Amino acid sequence: MTLKLYLHPLSSYVQKAKTGFYEKGIEFEPKMLDGSDPVASEFAALWPVGRFPVLDDDGTVVFEATSIIDYLDARFPEKRRLVPEDPMMAVEVRMWDRFFDNYVSYPQQRMVYTAIGREPDDGQDGARWKAMFDTAYALLDKRMADRRWVAGDFSLADCAAAPALLYADWTYPIPAQFEALRTYRARLLARPSYARALDEARPYRHMFPLGAPADRD
């Protein structure tokens, strides 16, 4: 097998990329990043930025979860695409992919990094990040009122949405009034591709710095 994916199962961006692999039924060799060698040193040499997931396809290195899914579309044209061929539809999918990364996963990651002391505490209990969540939740609830997936058929954008909404809700619960958004989140968690990535993270849940719920998800 030539496709090696550097990962940790708890990582939201890893779960996003894995969802792409599982949707398409493409196998990969997991390279577990748990701090131990030789994988840790191998990864540091491959991608000094140190963020994962990173794909190594026999020497072709692909970083960023979005780009990994884009790469799978290009490399395996016989599989179902996760970014549609239609250019206008592709714009919509990419736009919503960016939305989940920038306006849901971003504040979520800031709150985790603050909790583990990697980023400074704002002294206001993350008010800035919570305000971002409030805006994103309200907007997404409207968007999902009459949709099954966020942009056409299940796509790259839904691969981004699944882990983003999993962790966002653990970090700053989606209010009950946002029924359409909560239903969408449940639908994402039940999608077999994402459910598999989520199951693979189960043994590591206790490591989630803000505390994972014991009774759901």
Ligand X SMILES: N[C@@H](CCC(=O)N[C@@H](CS)C(=O)NCC(=O)O)C(=O)O
Residues that bind ligand X in the complex, under the rule CB under 6 A = 11-13, 50-53, 64-66
Cβ 39 to ligand X, closest distance in Å? 14
Q: Which is nearer to ligand X, 108 or 193 (CB)?
A: 108
Q: Which is nearer to ligand X, 64 or 70 (CB)?
A: 64
Q: Which is nearer to ligand X, 64 or 169 (CB)?
A: 64
Cβ 114 to ligand X, closest distance in Å? 14
3-state SS of 86-136 is CHHHHHHHHHHHHHHHHHHHHHHHHHHHHHCCCCCCCCCCCHHHHHHHHHH
Name the amino acid, one letter, at 214: A
Cβ 204 to ligand X, closest distance in Å? 12
Task: Name the maximum alpha-carbon separation found in the chain.
Answer: 51
Token pair for residue 116? 């583990």
Cβ 60 to ligand X, closest distance in Å? 16
Q: Which is nearer to ligand X, 17 or 140 (CB)?
A: 17
Cβ 25 to ligand X, closest distance in Å? 22
Q: Which is nearer to ligand X, 129 or 182 (CB)?
A: 129
Q: Which is nearer to ligand X, 12 or 193 (CB)?
A: 12
DSSP codes, 17-46: HHHHHHHHT---EEEE-SS-TTHHHHHHHH
Name the amino acid, one letter, at 138: A
Token pair for residue 14? 């890893």
Token pair for residue 22? 């599982």
Cβ 17 to ligand X, closest distance in Å? 7
Name the amino acid, one letter, at 181: L
Residue partners of 119: CB distance under 8 A and separation at least 6: 110, 113
Do the bridges between strand 29-32 and strand 3-7 make them parallel or antiparallel, or are there none, so unpaired? parallel
